[in-house]
Chains A and B, each alone.
Chain A
Amino acid sequence: MSPAASTASRFTPYAATEIAKGWDALYAFLLIASLISCILVIGGLIVFVIKYRRKVEGEKTPYISHSTTLEFLWSFIPFVIFMVVFVWGWKLFHDFRKMPENALEIAVEAQKWDWTFGYKSGRRVSGEFYVPINEPVKLVMTSKDVLHSFFVPAFRNKQDVVPGRYTTYWFQANALGNYQVFCAEYCGDKHSGMLAKVHVVTREQFDEWLSNDPYKGLSSVDIGQKVYAARCVACHQLTDAKGVGPGWKGMFGRSEKMADGSTITADENYIRESILNPNAHVVEGYPAGVMPTFAGQLNEQELMGIIDFIKTVK
């Protein structure tokens, strides 16, 4: 779709916003200034040690204690450069942090180890999200558990996502493409797998995608019921009768004896586990290996919907 898909051959990723281009400009300046400084210091060092290497033992060296002029110069000149860089960096930082008005607002929820994106229309998606090109987008982010950090190299920006508060992030992508989202704040075992994609598309494509929400306007319980009718009804009845799998009536909150002898309460976590990894804990009386996993087939919204639906089956 765009040059952005491939970043491997570049020293910096494709710059997909105006601010990212501004970042690249300041970075180029810093690299050149750094290179000159290194050549001065390291070059001076190499020249001096070669030119003044010891030729005979016991040779005299001049007693040069200091030079106020030189020392002033090599304090003052770096200071001036540092101040230029500081002010330039300040300006850039301000651009990154000044939230635009009238932006498309998306709620971002991070948890170990995935990203969920919620639109005003009610659409919630995990693992990838869509935004229109050339329009400001503002992310209002929070975490359900530990610290995470929302990082898109193509936008040259990141922001920590903190439990118990909102942090914000904005961008205005000016190139179509799919851009990598990383979690940049260490969050445990699957930290390096906590990835997502941001798809920058045209306004028309975006509207079409957003309106294609199969669950538009539905409550969580209704979503659960729809998923039930499509995926679960074959094996699970809405009574307490035993089918291929247990009936759902009164199941939520009940203590169940497992095949391995332990007792587990059928709470949100147990139901989630049973959908994603059904053989982890099988209720006594049911053979293992019958129920398939639904990992990768159901998104967070659908999982939550099923759980909420089960709660209503009393």
Chain B
Amino acid sequence: MATAAHSGKNYLNEKSGLWSWLTSLDHKRIGIMYMISVMIFFAIGGTFAMLLRWELFGAGPTIMNAHQYNQTMTFHGAIMVFMVIIPGIPAFLGNFILPLHLGAKDVAFPRVNLMSWYCLMVGSAIAFWSLFYHGSDTGWTFYTPYSVTTQNGTIWLVFGAFIIGFSSILTGLNFIVTTHKLRAPGMSFWRMPLFVWALYSTALLQVLATPVLAITLLLLAMERLLGIGVFDPNLGGDPVLFQHFFWFYSHPAVYIMILPAMGVVSEIITAFSHKTIFGYKAIALSSVGIAAVSFFVWGHHMFVSGQSEIAGIIFSFITMLVGVPTAIKCFNWVATLYRGSVRFDSPLLFALGFLFLFTIGGVTGIILATVGIDVHFHDTYFVVAHFHYVMVGGTLMAIMGGIYYWFPKMFGKLVNEFWARLSFVFIFIGFNVTFFPQFVLGAMGMPRRYFDYLPEYEPLNRISSFGAWTIGVGFLIGLGVIIHGLLRGKPAGPNPWGAKTLEWTTASPPPHENFLVQPVVTAGPYEYR
């Protein structure tokens, strides 16, 4: 059977040279290319975050002026959303794992897959060009009419986001077709790993929602360049219309960011408690349910925008409904741990960290969904804290957990557990120190996107800045762990965690087309009996 494995050939060493990577159609190599690009983008976006927290260390100007602050804030947001969190799990971990999870040789359209990566690269290059060209200071939301009147750099950033959108759409399309057509014999929908369910739900959102963003950004560009009035009241447009269009994409985008993270957590929790998942169908269907409902909640970003009272009430109600499938998932994960055989390796620590932080992010989400409460919290640091608890505490924790979990599969090597756990300790503690005070700042009324603040907000801002630097240290340790693992990691073997999904049945790293013998599936994904 294992002639190729015995010969030592795998996807990493089968061909060599930079060109063989840049033209590779292998989903695993493309996944690794995403990993490297996303890590670079994360380092840039993270550096901006450190600078922001440095500026906010004290009231008054600290290291930059207001205009530079606004540009830094804009690029931190745009990079983290469009270049890190949206492609982070689906395009990087999803690309690598989805075909392996399904027992397939590759994704359905390998060339389109490569093209998606190039879309991300070209779009990102254009977005970064705007930084050097003139900057942009609109915030990542590009609200009109401000974005129509401000500097020219905005148009490049918008254009970059437009191109990146195609990367997202094509990846989603690829994953939907792959999931439908390339499952191994015997793998019914109810035998798919939950990460696949999460990716599938995400892909639906990517395909259906991202075009709306593309259209919106195109309209914005037409307004700026050609003076066609859509959003600018001076031209007869409606600025609130832009918010409707923008959030019609960007709210589902929030679930593009979090659903795959939930999938990763499902995989890790079942593997490290060595126990079948509790409520498989409920978790699988709740992913689809969240995806479906997420299309009808965009107005909760606009409770005070001037939309009607009745619209606010309806959006508040529907937003509450999202809480139900989300709560189901949390309870099911905890129930999976019950009577398990729990092993505290770094992936599980990050998954538990996810649960801890996501729970706080979730309950504060309900607080914000309560329409009468949101009128005070809207556009304050309470919102900033809430979405960082979900996006960083949720998604980034899951990415880190996913990297540590699948690292042995990707590179055939084990990371240093001590340092991996230490990176968790720094990130987890630093995260709470950074963002918990921001809930209080928001309750005290400190608005977001403020270059300067009243003196009474200083102590908590100072604590928050110290926390941010602690997170920074944690991620640097994590980077060290990954590099050390690549260079010096001990051989992992095909299945170091004793997990049951298909990717662990092939060699680590896997051979070119994943499986030497086509796997045949006869049972569910988590058969720990």
Contact B373 A23 (CB under 8 A): yes
Q: Is A180 an interface residue (CB 8 A)?
A: yes
Give residues 81-122 of A contacting B (CB, 8 Å): 82-83, 85-86, 88-97
Least CB separation from B441: chain A residue:
A11
Given A75-B328, A85-B320, A159-B304: A191 in contact with B359 (beta carbons within 8 A):
no
Least CB separation from A43: chain B residue:
B334
Contact A27 B379 (CB under 8 A): no
Given A151-B445, A192-B452: A88 in contact with B304 (beta carbons within 8 A):
no
Per the bound structure, the CA–CA distance linking A82 and B139 in Å amounts to 32
Contact of A95 among B313, B372, B529 (CB under 8 A): B372
Given A62-B339, A145-B149: A193 in contact with B452 (beta carbons within 8 A):
yes
Contact of A52 among B338, B374, B448 (CB under 8 A): B338
Interface locus among B12-20, B271-279, B486-494: B271-279
Give residues 323-355 of B contacting A (CB, 8 Å): 323-324, 327-328, 330-332, 334-335, 337-344, 352, 355
Given A52-B339, A85-B320, A165-B306: A10 in contact with B359 (beta carbons within 8 A):
no
A-B contact count (CB 8 A): 265
Contact A11 B452 (CB under 8 A): no
Q: Is B454 an interface residue (CB 8 A)?
A: yes
Give residues 373-416 of B contacting A (CB, 8 Å): 373-376, 378-380
Set of chain A residues within 8 Å of B479, measured between Cβ atoms: none
Set of chain B residues within 8 Å of A78, measured between Cβ atoms: 323-324, 327
Contact A64 B66 (CB under 8 A): no
Per the bound structure, the CA–CA distance linking A156 and B273 in Å amounts to 45
Contact A85 B454 (CB under 8 A): no
Interface locus among B88-96, B111-119, B171-179, B360-368: B360-368
Interface locus among A34-42, A252-260, A261-269: A34-42
Interface locus among A182-190, A286-294, A297-305: A182-190
Set of chain B residues within 8 Å of A67, measured between Cβ atoms: 278-279, 335
Give residues 416-460 of B contacting A (CB, 8 Å): 440, 443-445, 447-456
Per the bound structure, the CA–CA distance linking A63 and B276 in Å amounts to 6
Q: Is B154 an interface residue (CB 8 A)?
A: no
Per the bound structure, the CA–CA distance linking A44 and B352 in Å amounts to 11
Q: Is A12 an interface residue (CB 8 A)?
A: yes
Least CB separation from B376: chain A residue:
A156
Give residues 24-59 of A contacting B (CB, 8 Å): 26-27, 30-31, 33-34, 37-38, 41-42, 44-45, 48-49, 52-55, 59
Contact A61 B370 (CB under 8 A): no
Nearest Cβ on chain A to B179's Cβ, whole angstroms: 23
Contact of B66 among A34, A146, A162, A189 (CB under 8 A): A189
Least CB separation from B372: chain A residue:
A92
Contact of B355 among A41, A146, A182 (CB under 8 A): A41
Least CB separation from A192: chain B residue:
B450
Contact B444 A12 (CB under 8 A): yes
Q: Is A280 an interface residue (CB 8 A)?
A: no
Nearest Cβ on chain A to B25's Cβ, whole angstroms: 39
Set of chain A residues within 8 Å of B327, measured between Cβ atoms: 74-75, 78
Contact A180 B341 (CB under 8 A): no
Contact B334 A93 (CB under 8 A): no
Set of chain A residues within 8 Å of B367, measured between Cβ atoms: 27, 30-31, 34
The proximity string for B residues 273-290 relative to A, scoring 1 for CB distances below 8 Å and 0 otherwise, is 111101111100000000
Given A26-B372, A48-B334, A190-B66: A167 in contact with B306 (beta carbons within 8 A):
yes
Contact of A37 among B359, B443, B448, B454 (CB under 8 A): B359
Contact A66 B282 (CB under 8 A): yes
Set of chain A residues within 8 Å of B455, measured between Cβ atoms: 8
Contact B328 A34 (CB under 8 A): no
Contact A189 B67 (CB under 8 A): yes
Per the bound structure, the CA–CA distance linking A81 and B367 in Å amounts to 12
Q: What class of interface size applies to chain B in its complex with A?
A: 35 or more
Per the bound structure, the CA–CA distance linking A10 and B443 in Å amounts to 9
Contact B342 A53 (CB under 8 A): yes
Contact A96 B330 (CB under 8 A): no
Contact B375 A157 (CB under 8 A): yes
Set of chain B residues within 8 Å of A90, measured between Cβ atoms: 313, 316, 371-372
Set of chain A residues within 8 Å of B342, measured between Cβ atoms: 48-49, 52-54
Set of chain A residues within 8 Å of B334, measured between Cβ atoms: 41, 44-45, 48
Least CB separation from A45: chain B residue:
B334
Q: Is A149 an interface residue (CB 8 A)?
A: yes
Q: Is A138 an interface residue (CB 8 A)?
A: no
Q: Is A71 an interface residue (CB 8 A)?
A: yes
Given A27-B373, A147-B145: A38 in contact with B328 (beta carbons within 8 A):
no
| Most chain A beta carbons < 10 A, residue from B313, B320, B367, B370 | B370
Per the bound structure, the CA–CA distance linking A115 and B276 in Å amounts to 60
Q: Is A245 an interface residue (CB 8 A)?
A: no
Nearest Cβ on chain A to B344's Cβ, whole angstroms: 7
Contact A45 B356 (CB under 8 A): yes
Contact A93 B372 (CB under 8 A): yes
Per the bound structure, the CA–CA distance linking A45 and B276 in Å amounts to 16
Set of chain A residues within 8 Å of B454, measured between Cβ atoms: 180
Contact B340 A52 (CB under 8 A): yes
Contact B324 A75 (CB under 8 A): yes
Given A12-B444, A182-B447, A188-B146: A49 in contact with B337 (beta carbons within 8 A):
yes
Contact of A61 among B146, B273, B317, B364 (CB under 8 A): B273
Contact A188 B70 (CB under 8 A): yes
Q: Is A296 an interface residue (CB 8 A)?
A: no
Set of chain B residues within 8 Å of A11, measured between Cβ atoms: 440, 443-444
Q: Is B21 an interface residue (CB 8 A)?
A: no
Least CB separation from A152: chain B residue:
B445
Set of chain B residues within 8 Å of A55, measured between Cβ atoms: 341
Contact A186 B275 (CB under 8 A): no
Q: Is B160 an interface residue (CB 8 A)?
A: no
Q: Is B31 an interface residue (CB 8 A)?
A: no
Given A8-B456, A61-B273, A188-B150: A26 in contact with B304 (beta carbons within 8 A):
no
Set of chain A residues within 8 Å of B139, measured between Cβ atoms: 186
Contact A160 B305 (CB under 8 A): yes
Per the bound structure, the CA–CA distance linking A12 and B149 in Å amounts to 36
Q: Is B528 an interface residue (CB 8 A)?
A: yes
Nearest Cβ on chain B to A255's Cβ, whole angstroms: 26
Set of chain A residues within 8 Å of B317, measured between Cβ atoms: 86
Set of chain A residues within 8 Å of B219, measured between Cβ atoms: none
Q: Is B137 an interface residue (CB 8 A)?
A: yes
Contact A153 B444 (CB under 8 A): yes
Nearest Cβ on chain A to B119's Cβ, whole angstroms: 29
Contact B380 A184 (CB under 8 A): yes
Contact A149 B149 (CB under 8 A): no
Per the bound structure, the CA–CA distance linking A226 and B154 in Å amounts to 44
Contact A64 B309 (CB under 8 A): no
Least CB separation from A49: chain B residue:
B342
Contact A86 B320 (CB under 8 A): yes
The 8 closest A-B pairs by CB, nearest first: A92-B372, A153-B445, A164-B233, A89-B370, A8-B456, A192-B450, A34-B363, A48-B337
Name 12 extra pairs, CB < 8 A, besides A41-B330, A82-B320, A164-B234.
Answer: A7-B456, A11-B440, A26-B372, A26-B373, A27-B373, A31-B367, A52-B342, A93-B312, A145-B145, A146-B149, A180-B445, A186-B70
Q: What are 5 contact pairs spanning A and B, CB under 8 A?
A: A26-B373, A37-B359, A75-B327, A93-B372, A94-B372
